[in-house]
Structure 1
Amino acid sequence: MTQVTERGTPLPTAPRAATARRRSPAAAACVLGGAVAAGLGLGFLAVLVIVLWISSPYPDSGPGGALHLAAGLWLMAHGTELVRYETLSGAPAPVGLVPLLLVALPVLLMRRAARLGSASGDAAGAEGDEVLPASAVFSAVTCGYLTVGALATVYAAGGPMPADPLSAAWHVPLVAVLAAAGGVWAAKGKPLGPLPQWVPGSVRRAVARPRYALALRSGGAGVLVLLGGGALLVGASLMWHGTEARSSFLALTGVWSGRFAVLLLALALLPNAMVWGAAYGLGPGFALGAGAVATPFGLEGAPSLPRFPLLAALPSPGPGTPVTWAALAVPVAAGLAVGWFAVRRAREVSYGETALTAALGSVVCGLATAGLAAASAGPLGSRALAGVGPVWWAAGGAAAGWTLVLSVPLAVGVQAWRTRPVRCAEGGGTGRDAWHDSGVRELRWEALRRAAEPLVAPMAPPVDPVAPAVAAPVPAPAEPLLPTAVVGARVLARRRPAG
């Protein structure tokens, strides 16, 4: 639409080239922000590896090897699989077990870069320049981050543990895209809709229903309970096997720098241990190499794992005991949490809607558990160590099954209990405490409001100063209204005990 002045002449419009020039500084700043986010992650790991290399009494390589190793660790933080060539058999061995706490570093930095890029675009729009759309901020930040990621992949190829190019080609973009999308979404106020116009209308209307937000909340509550239960199992087992864990920690190395590195690695693997504990409580357990599986019903096979403090928490070989069977309480608690959070506060929701919400929450819990199980597992070598950790489809299926069986009956029962007082009030239930029941508080307050209406005089309509003053007839009151103070005094006199 062309804008015109008061005389009818059209206003001059800025050409597209000028608009592109106004957009280019903000876009360049977003590209630089993505590159800086990747550089900060690389720099943090490089400083850490250099400090450990300097403090080591027996360094294996020079500072160049330490920097190559830092680049490989940064790629591993994105889920990239590394390749170890110095093995006893001489065959290259993959290393794909990613410490999940290490993944938080690139995710937080990339998310912060996307948020700052969106904020800088909004500030540029406030100063008169055109605001960058969310898609442009997302693309620019991702482009800068992936550029540094490609350079780090090429640089890490000359180190002792280079990254697998195919693994880096999709792991690094996946983490960058998800983190950048989360940052832009948070910067725009976390909008939940509406969906784009190219999405079919039936899908947009279906997603806008409250059941899906409630299912996400209940599924997230179930996942948190599973992770908390897994952490509780790992902590209890470490306390039970405290002597073995301490001896394993002291036997790995005798210098403080090596023990500090082992401690950092154990802390980075704590989220993995939580997921493994959750998979153990769910029933499928986790694999400890070829032919070795740990479940609440026993530890089968002979695990061929290296000595590590967290691995000292493994149960003893043999059949399960009542102590290990108690781990099955973790999925029970998760199912109850999903059912409790799936109940809506509204009274008019049907039982079928509540059951469907709980079922969807169970599906969300199963999908999230499967994703966490897949991220926490990986190979530590070839042959016997080719598969270590929980199987993602088994853990996800068990989580969905446990929560589905327990959450649906609980959700329906909780809703029936919450709506019971309303039904008694509507059906004329005769109970001495029916008036004070919490289920009829809406009816009680409505009755009190209606009873208090005669005590408040209606407001007089506003007087129009332009209209002529006309003496309006004053109607005689049909019944005098009692002041509020008098009514309150009478109520207090009735409540005063006799004598």
Structure 2
Amino acid sequence: MADVTPMTARRSTPAALLARVRDRSPGLPSALLGGALAAVLGLAVFTALVMLLWISSPYPDSGPGGALHVAAALWLLAHGAELVRTDTLSGVPAPMGVSPLLLLVLPVWLLRRAARDAADGGAGDEAPLVPGRTAWTGVVLGYLAVGAPAALHAAGGGLRPAWVWTGVCVTLVAVAAAGAGVWTAYGRPSGPLERVLGAVLPRGVRHLVLGPDGRPGAAARAAAAGAVVLTGGGTLLLAVSLGGHGGETRGAFLRLTEGWSGWLAVLLLCVTLVPNAAVWAAAYAVGPGFFLGTDAPVTPLGSAPAPPLPPFPLLAAVPDTGAGTAVNWAAGAVPLTAGLVVGYFVGRGTTTHGRAPAARTDGRAPAARTDGRAPAGARPRGRTSAEVWTRGRTAGAAALAGVLCAALLALLAALAGGPLGVAALSRFGPVWWQVGAATLAWLGPTAIATSLAVRAWRGRAPADPPAERLPGPRAPRDRPLARRSRALVPGPHRWFPRSRQPGGDGRKTPDGLPRDLPPDPGPTAAALRPEEAPSGDSGG
């Protein structure tokens, strides 16, 4: 009975319960606060921008409350959520699902930083890290705790959130960005990624995506390079088209609004939509193109008439209506270049890693390294690169890189497009599965052929140089060196009578060399190893 009373007292004390919760979940309150602060900062940035444009507008349509509703709606749109516009001319609510990709950078950066700081604990390098699950859970819950009231507030404005898309998109962004922050705080370990990939990929394929050392594998690096080429090529096509339609672009910019505040708002909107337009241009280059309505596809083979659209500057870059010409077909150089780049990266990876170092000519063993790594001439453990990177494995890595690059471009196409209304405008932008299939058709054969060619070129055996013997008394390289070499060797020489040798008067140095013989710093002594070089003074 003496032990039961204190235990009951401890269980009934609220302070003791709170202390036990803190002990079991260290860092949870700070993680919750960090997630909430990330959401508040993101909302503050959008609110300040919208309020600035509202104050400077000569014809504001609503009061400060309406501007706050728009700011909350834009914050949700930055996460990829779909909005519903209620104030339409027909009275039918119209969805708005085109999310500016550039706006996604702000919430992702804030969430990643908040999760990284929550995992670090903020107590210096010597303090232990907060458990990853605790930091990740706290940041996500804190972020969603602020995001839910913001979505409820946006529901009272003209742009209302679609609840299903809002719940899914905001949660996915919070989960992914917070997980990346915790992973960064722990030094980017490869264990979690290996467990995730191990559930869907076999071991041999998994190492092509994630290398044994935790770095991206050959296929992943090649896929990233191909995606950069595709999006960069799309940006180049967009710039060329805007330059070719410069007059229409300026006219649309001036007709859309009046006053510097309106021009600034349109300019900011165009800047945030530039990544979307670059993805659209990349989709156009690979073949399927994009849609400006359900019955208005735009492809290199031809462009159908589009429904009536507002005079937006970026839409002025759309190719003219009609059949495609050689200028339009030249856009195919972008995916062709991407396939060549993917194949080059895969082919280079098959011959760069694990190549045997050149053998030493002095017969010495490789010098030991001081950084804990294997010596330069040591044989790597396990199978060598020649055993692993066969022709079949090289071709498979190139095919896998093409699949990864196609999946990445399909994801970008899904994020860059969406509906802008009902009926004819229900399809606006590229279709993700068409873009992915066309990208794979371009990159697959090109990357496989290029990777095999690069592998054969870089892996070819170099011609063996002629064997060069060490110069010495018994292997003279030329007549003058032979004379000097034999002069260094004591004893009579058949080539040189004693009367014709330098110093023939018989006077010699203490080392036994002729007094008149000059010192010889030539290749005979330099080619010898240190332990075989003469120790005394070779001069007179």
Q: TM-score range by the shorter chain?
A: 0.7 to 0.9
Cα distance, 1:22 vs structure 2:
4.1
Please point out which of 329, 339, 343 is paired with 1:335.
Answer: 339
* Letter in structure 2 aligned against 1:286: F
Q: Taking structure 1 as reference, are residues 195 and 485 closer, same or farther at Cα in structure 2, changes over 3 Å only?
A: farther
Q: Taking structure 1 as reference, are residues 194 and 92 closer, same or farther at Cα in structure 2, changes over 3 Å only?
A: closer
TM-score by length of 2: 0.73
CA deviation string 1:70-114 (max 9, x = no partner):
001000101111111111111110111101101111111111111
Please point out which of 226, 232, 237 is paired with 1:228.
Answer: 232
Q: Taking structure 1 as reference, are residues 136 and 302 closer, same or farther at Cα in structure 2, changes over 3 Å only?
A: same
Does residue 374 of structure 1 match 2:375? no
In the alignment, the residues of structure 2 paired with residue 326 and residue 195 of structure 1 have an alpha-carbon distance, to the nearest angstrom, of: 40
Please point out which of 411, 435, 442 is paired with 2:465.
Answer: 435
Asked if the contact 2:111/2:178 (under 8 Å) is kept, the reply is yes
In the alignment, the residues of structure 2 paired with residue 412 and residue 102 of structure 1 have an alpha-carbon distance, to the nearest angstrom, of: 41
* 1:51-66 superposed matches below 5 A: 51-66=52-67
Q: Could you say which structure has the higher helix fraction? A: 1
CA deviation string 1:13-37 (max 9, x = no partner):
xx99866434656211111101110
Does residue 404 of structure 1 match 2:402? no
In the alignment, the residues of structure 2 paired with residue 206 and residue 117 of structure 1 have an alpha-carbon distance, to the nearest angstrom, of: 36
Aligned to 1:186: 184
Cα distance, 1:118 vs structure 2:
1.4
Does residue 260 of structure 1 match 2:264? yes
In the alignment, the residues of structure 2 paired with residue 116 and residue 378 of structure 1 have an alpha-carbon distance, to the nearest angstrom, of: 35
In the alignment, the residues of structure 2 paired with residue 281 and residue 189 of structure 1 have an alpha-carbon distance, to the nearest angstrom, of: 39
Aligned length: 423
Cα distance, 1:297 vs structure 2:
1.1
Q: Taking structure 1 as reference, are residues 488 and 224 closer, same or farther at Cα in structure 2, changes over 3 Å only?
A: farther
* Letter in structure 1 aligned against 2:247: T
Cα distance, 1:304 vs structure 2:
2.9
Q: Taking structure 1 as reference, are residues 203 and 307 closer, same or farther at Cα in structure 2, changes over 3 Å only?
A: closer
* Letter in structure 1 aligned against 2:80: G
Cα distance, 1:485 vs structure 2:
6.7
Aligned to 2:153: 155
SS in 2 for 1:360: helix
* 1:340-359 superposed matches below 5 A: 340-343=344-347, 344=349, 345-346=352-353, 347=355, 348=386, 349-359=389-399
Aligned to 1:460: none
Q: Taking structure 1 as reference, are residues 488 and 219 closer, same or farther at Cα in structure 2, changes over 3 Å only?
A: farther
Cα distance, 1:193 vs structure 2:
2.4
Task: Report the identity percentage.
Answer: 49
Aligned to 1:112: 113
* Letter in structure 2 aligned against 1:32: L
SS in 2 for 1:269: helix
* Letter in structure 1 aligned against 2:108: V
Cα distance, 1:40 vs structure 2:
0.6
Cα distance, 1:207 vs structure 2:
6.1
Asked if the contact 1:124/1:131 (under 8 Å) is kept, the reply is no
Aligned to 2:4: none
Q: Taking structure 1 as reference, are residues 318 and 152 closer, same or farther at Cα in structure 2, changes over 3 Å only?
A: same
SS in 2 for 1:114: helix
Q: Taking structure 1 as reference, are residues 372 and 199 closer, same or farther at Cα in structure 2, changes over 3 Å only?
A: closer
Q: Taking structure 1 as reference, are residues 418 and 131 closer, same or farther at Cα in structure 2, changes over 3 Å only?
A: closer
Cα distance, 1:298 vs structure 2:
1.4
In the alignment, the residues of structure 1 paired with residue 339 and residue 205 of structure 2 have an alpha-carbon distance, to the nearest angstrom, of: 24
Cα distance, 1:188 vs structure 2:
1.3
SS in 2 for 1:162: strand
Cα distance, 1:277 vs structure 2:
0.5
SS in 1 for 2:161: coil
Gaps of 5+ in 1: 1-14, 426-433, 437-443, 453-483, 493-499
Asked if the contact 2:346/2:398 (under 8 Å) is kept, the reply is yes
* 1:5-84 superposed matches below 5 A: 20-22=21-23, 26-84=27-85
Cα distance, 1:306 vs structure 2:
1.7
CA deviation string 1:173-229 (max 9, x = no partner):
011111111111112111122668899799684466246511111111111100000
Please point out which of 131, 144, 149 is paired with 1:133.
Answer: 131
Asked if the contact 2:340/2:446 (under 8 Å) is kept, the reply is yes
Asked if the contact 2:27/2:134 (under 8 Å) is kept, the reply is no
290-299 vs 388-397, greater mean Cα deviation? 290-299
Gaps of 5+ in 2: 1-15, 211-216, 356-385, 472-519, 529-540
Aligned to 1:322: 326
Cα distance, 1:370 vs structure 2:
0.6
Asked if the contact 2:227/2:338 (under 8 Å) is kept, the reply is yes
SS in 1 for 2:191: coil
Cα distance, 1:126 vs structure 2:
3.6
* Higher Cα Rg, which structure: 2
Asked if the contact 1:194/1:204 (under 8 Å) is kept, the reply is no
In the alignment, the residues of structure 2 paired with residue 289 and residue 278 of structure 1 have an alpha-carbon distance, to the nearest angstrom, of: 19
CA deviation string 1:380-412 (max 9, x = no partner):
111111110000000011111111010001101
Aligned to 1:171: 169
Cα distance, 1:302 vs structure 2:
2.9
Q: Taking structure 1 as reference, are residues 145 and 307 closer, same or farther at Cα in structure 2, changes over 3 Å only?
A: same
Aligned to 2:144: 146
Aligned to 1:459: none
CA deviation string 1:402-454 (max 9, x = no partner):
110100011011101111125xx5xxxxxxxx439xxxxxxx9xx99xx89xx
In the alignment, the residues of structure 2 paired with residue 137 and residue 20 of structure 1 have an alpha-carbon distance, to the nearest angstrom, of: 15
Asked if the contact 2:289/2:300 (under 8 Å) is kept, the reply is yes
Q: CA RMSD in A?
A: 2.8
SS in 2 for 1:209: helix
Asked if the contact 2:301/2:324 (under 8 Å) is kept, the reply is yes
Does residue 383 of structure 1 match 2:384? no
Q: Taking structure 1 as reference, are residues 23 and 124 closer, same or farther at Cα in structure 2, changes over 3 Å only?
A: farther
* Letter in structure 2 aligned against 1:380: L
TM-score by length of 1: 0.79
In the alignment, the residues of structure 1 paired with residue 47 and residue 18 of structure 2 have an alpha-carbon distance, to the nearest angstrom, of: 42
Q: Taking structure 1 as reference, are residues 327 and 146 closer, same or farther at Cα in structure 2, changes over 3 Å only?
A: same
In the alignment, the residues of structure 2 paired with residue 232 and residue 131 of structure 1 have an alpha-carbon distance, to the nearest angstrom, of: 45
Q: Taking structure 1 as reference, are residues 200 and 238 closer, same or farther at Cα in structure 2, changes over 3 Å only?
A: closer
* Letter in structure 1 aligned against 2:150: A
Q: Taking structure 1 as reference, are residues 361 and 195 closer, same or farther at Cα in structure 2, changes over 3 Å only?
A: closer
Aligned to 2:273: 269
* Letter in structure 1 aligned against 2:119: S
SS in 2 for 1:50: helix
* Letter in structure 1 aligned against 2:76: L
Please point out which of 240, 243, 249 is paired with 2:244.
Answer: 240
* Letter in structure 2 aligned against 1:147: A
Cα distance, 1:132 vs structure 2:
2.0
In the alignment, the residues of structure 2 paired with residue 231 and residue 197 of structure 1 have an alpha-carbon distance, to the nearest angstrom, of: 36
Q: Taking structure 1 as reference, are residues 337 and 307 closer, same or farther at Cα in structure 2, changes over 3 Å only?
A: same
Asked if the contact 1:288/1:304 (under 8 Å) is kept, the reply is no
